[in-house]
């Protein structure tokens, strides 16, 4: 029996990603965009964006509002290029804005991280995910963080079923009126000190639903956000690296 299992392991090879900080993402993944100084009709790009993520003078893309549809790069490929850089998490909302001619990585500002986060949760972190009217895309990707490929649990980071067992809340979805009270109750049930993480464009800005009267995003005005992780949906590597950066790892 043991020899049969060894044959399977040898045949399949390593299924987990050895280093989630340096691995390449295959396929057509769109990560952090880069805006060159090449000439292009700014107004046409601004008008093209479905969520108003693009603004001009100089040209900027707000990743907190970007759906990563890629239409801007298709329209003006010499101006905008989406890289495969999945490290896009930051604790500063303004750091999610990519500007023309700036190819700097998006980072977590260590000086702005609450001291108790790294002191208490540096080696073990339990999170409760709340889908606040999400479309299930970010939720699926967050589920994938715990599979055999990404194996987030090796870093002591896991999702738990109850907010009372959690160290923080991960919000996905634009926060509808129907979920606003439930989200508040879940956050209140989480013991202090607790983290608040927004995962995906819908959670960060409302995404394509931003102007919908069905939303109630007042929760975000009452609580400090510790980490923003853009994406539509958020990639497992983006989430894992964002959390590790927040924890100083």
Mean pLDDT in consecutive groups of 10 residues from the start of the chain, 249 residues = 76 79 90 95 94 94 97 96 97 97 94 93 95 95 94 95 96 97 97 96 96 96 96 97 95
Domain boundaries defined on the chain: 1-249
| Cβ neighbours, 10 Å, residue 140 | 13
Encoded tokens for 203:
């959670």
Q: Give residue 27's pLDDT.
A: 84
Q: Give residue 12's pLDDT.
A: 66
Q: Give residue 58's pLDDT.
A: 94
Q: Give residue 16's pLDDT.
A: 82
Gyration radius of the chain over CA positions: 19
Encoded tokens for 197:
């993480």
| Cβ neighbours, 10 Å, residue 164 | 11
Strands 168-172, 97-99: pairing is unpaired
| Cβ neighbours, 10 Å, residue 183 | 22
d(CA 88, CA 63): 9
Coil, helix or strand at residue 99: strand
CATH architecture of residue range(s) 1-249: 3-Layer(aba) Sandwich (3.40)
């Amino acid at each position: 029996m043991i020899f049969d299992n060894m044959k399977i392991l040898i045949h399949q090879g390593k299924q987990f990603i050895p280093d989630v900080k340096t691995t390449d993402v295959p396929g057509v993944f769109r990560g952090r965009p880069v805006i060159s100084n090449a000439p292009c009709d700014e107004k046409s790009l601004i008008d093209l964006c479905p969520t108003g993520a693009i603004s001009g003078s100089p040209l900027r893309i707000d990743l907190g509002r970007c759906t990563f549809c890629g239409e801007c790069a298709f329209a003006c490929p010499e101006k905008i290029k989406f890289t495969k850089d999945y490290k896009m998490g930051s604790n500063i909302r303004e750091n999610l804005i990519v500007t023309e001619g700036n190819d700097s990585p998006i980072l977590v500002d260590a000086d702005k991280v609450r001291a108790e986060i790294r002191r208490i949760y540096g080696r073990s972190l339990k999170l409760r995910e709340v889908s606040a009217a999400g479309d299930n895309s970010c939720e699926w990707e967050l589920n994938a963080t715990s599979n055999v490929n990404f194996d987030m649990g090796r870093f002591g980071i896991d999702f738990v079923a109850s907010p009372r067992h959690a160290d923080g809340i991960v919000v996905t979805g634009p926060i509808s009126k129907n979920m606003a009270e439930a989200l508040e109750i879940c956050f209140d049930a989480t013991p202090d000190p607790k983290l608040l993480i927004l995962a995906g464009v819908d959670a960060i800005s409302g995404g394509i639903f931003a102007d919908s009267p069905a939303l109630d995003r007042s929760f975000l005005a009452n609580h400090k956000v510790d980490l923003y992780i853009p994406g539509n949906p958020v990639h497992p590597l983006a989430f894992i690296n964002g959390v590790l950066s927040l924890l100083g790892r």
